[in-house]
Amino acid sequence: MQLIDAIQTSDEYLVDKMETAAVYEIVYELQQSKVEKLVKRFAQLTALIPTQNRVLAHHNLD
């Protein structure tokens, strides 16, 4: 019995195992808090605004 059968990536290992075993992908999402949802939505909306001529702050130092 060898400690290492072969050196391969995890993708290669899964492809090899698909021939002899059922391989399942499990996907889950953690629930976001309301604040996280709000911040994410705000970031999505601000990404839609063209930034070419937008001024975030203007200071007159005279």
Q: Which domain holds residue 33?
A: 12-47
Does 37 map to a domain?
Answer: yes
Residues 6+ away with beta carbon under 8 Å from 37: none
Residue 28 inside a domain? The answer is: yes
**Residue 53 maps to a domain:** no
User: pLDDT tens digits, the chain, 62 residues: what are they?
Assistant: 677 778 899 888 888 888 888 878 888 888 889 999 899 888 888 877 766 666 666 677 76
Does any domain span residue 2? no
Q: Give me the number of domains the chain comprises.
A: 1
What is the pTM (predicted TM-score) of this model? 0.32
CA 39 to chain centre: 16
Asked if the structure places residue 4 within a domain, the reply is no
